[in-house]
Amino acid sequence: MLGSTPRFLSYQAGESILHRLDARTKLLGTAVVVADALIASIPAGMAVAYALGLLIGLGAIHLLPALWRTLRPLLVLIALFGVLIVIITPGHALFRVGFIVASRPGLDLAIQLGLQSFLIIYTSSLLTLTTPPLAIAGALDWTLGFLRHLRFPVQDVIAMVAIGLTFVPLLIEETRKVIVAQRARGADLGMNAMLDENAMAALLIPLLLANLRRGEELAESMDARLYGVGERTSLHERHFRRDDLLAATVLAVFTAADVAISFWLHP
């Protein structure tokens, strides 16, 4: 009932290759892998994309076992959705069970979506595991920097996202505590609780209040340290180093291969 905190959104300190890459490389790299997954043909293009994913994973090899454990339940979910897609997509029938028809296009779609989802989630998890939220925020800031000229408050929005990410583990812990406390009082907080407004109130109100208060206090602490007064600098000078160049090359090569295979060799 009370397991360890799921870590797929939490940063874990370390010294792996992935850890040492510049956050901007990792952020853009993730975007590139997502694009590769979306354009990939089945099966060859997708194989290239997965090979890329595997290579990336080797850059933080010690995290893979724990990551696999966390992502395993997702496979079940993806499979379930896949089955649904196979059944409801119209098209050439593969086989029938009663009045349920499994279609060929459905199967193709299910496989494609399943493979894409898994790769995307896996890559994003690697990003958040090896990159502190504020580094991701900094990378987003740099990438979207041009929006500042359009008067868009890039820095503030990104700070909100980053702080939110930072607090996810704490929020998960707090949710657990509230659930325990209310169950200890006899509240039934199983799956059917979502329909019971009293039960949901018992869960959500304490959480909401505690976090509203925390939000205020955090804002005060940031104000007290002069956030927003002027142009911010950074402790970590962001340089692209040799490793980043290497990573960019690998991404470019695999992307080129993916594009070639998906569009020209398999029209």
Partner 1 sequence: MIAIEDATYRYGPGDEPAVRDVSVSVAPGEMVGIVGPNGSGKSTLSRLMKGLIVPEAGRVTVDGRDTRDDALGVRRLVGLVFQNPDSQIVNSVVEDEVAFGPENLGLPASEIRRRVDQALDTVGLRGRERAESHAQSMADKQRIALAAVLAMEPRYLILDEPTAWMEPAKRTHLLERIREWQQETGGGLVVVTHRMDEARACDRLYGMLHGRVDVEGFPDRVLGDAEVRRRLALDVPEAYALAESLRAAGLPVQPGQSVDVLAEELCPS
Partner 2 sequence: MPILEHTGRQGLDVGPGEIVSVLGAPGSGKTELALELAFLKVPSHGEVLLRGINPLAQRRFFQLSSRPHDVTLLVQNAEDQLFARTVYDDVAFGPRHLGVAEDEVERRVIAALEAVGLGVGVRARSPFALSGGERRRVALAGVLAMEPVVLVLDEPTANLDPQARNEFLRFLAPLRGKSAIVWLTDSAREATLADRIYLLQNGMLQPVPAREALLTDWRRLAEAGIELPAVFQLARALDERGLILPPEGTPEAMRQAIINAWCESHAG
Q: Point out which residues bind partner 1 (CB under 8 A).
A: 11-13, 132-134, 163, 166, 169-170, 213-214, 217-218, 220-237
Partner from partner 2, partner 1, none binding residue 267, C-beta < 5-8 Å depending on class: none
* 190 contacts partner 2 (rule: CB under 8 A): yes
Q: Please, which residue, 110 or 162, has the CB nearer to partner 1?
A: 162
Q: Does 205 bind partner 2 (CB under 8 A)?
A: yes
Out of 35, 89, 183, 227, which residue is the one contacting partner 2 (CB under 8 A)? Answer: 183
Q: Which does 156 bind (CB under 5 to 8 A by kind): partner 1, partner 2, none?
A: none
Nearest approach in angstroms of CB 6 to partner 2 is: 18
User: HSE-up of 89 (CA within 13 Å, CB side)?
Assistant: 19
Q: How many helices (H) and strands (E) does the chain have?
A: 9, 2
**Please, what is the minimum distance in Å from the beta carbon of residue 169 to partner 2?**
18
Does 77 engage in binding with partner 2 (CB under 8 A)?
no
* Residue 206: cis peptide before it, omega within 30 degrees of 0: no
What minimum distance in Å lies between the beta carbon of 191 and partner 2? 8
State the binding partner of 180 from partner 1, partner 2, none, CB within 5 to 8 A by kind: partner 2
Q: Which is nearer to partner 1, 234 or 249 (CB)?
A: 234
The full 3-state SS of the chain, as one line of letters, equals CCCCCCCCCCCCCCCCHHHHCCHHHHHHHHHHHHHHHHHCCCCHHHHHHHHHHHHHHHCCHHHHHHHHHHHHHHHHHHHHHHHHHHHHCCCCEEEEECCEEEEHHHHHHHHHHHHHHHHHHHHHHHHHHHCCHHHHHHHHHHHCHHHHHHCCCHHHHHHHHHHHHHHHHHHHHHHHHHHHHHHHCCCCCCHHHHHCHHHHHHHHHHHHHHHHHHHHHHHHHHHHCCCCCCCCCCCCCCCCCHHHHHHHHHHHHHHHHHHHHHHHHCC
**Which stretch, 6-14, 102-110, 172-180, 228-236, contacts partner 2 (CB under 8 A)?**
172-180
Least Cβ distance, residue 114 to partner 1 (angstroms): 32
Nearer to partner 1, 25 or 128 (CB): 128
Choose the stretch contacting partner 2; rule: CB under 8 A; options: 90-98, 118-126, 206-214, 259-267. Answer: 206-214
- If the CB atoms of residues 112 and 128 are measured against partner 1, the closer one turns out to be 128
Q: Does 252 bind partner 2 (CB under 8 A)?
A: no
Q: Return the one option of partner 2, partner 1, none that residue 232 interacts with (CB less than 5 to 8 A, by type).
A: partner 1
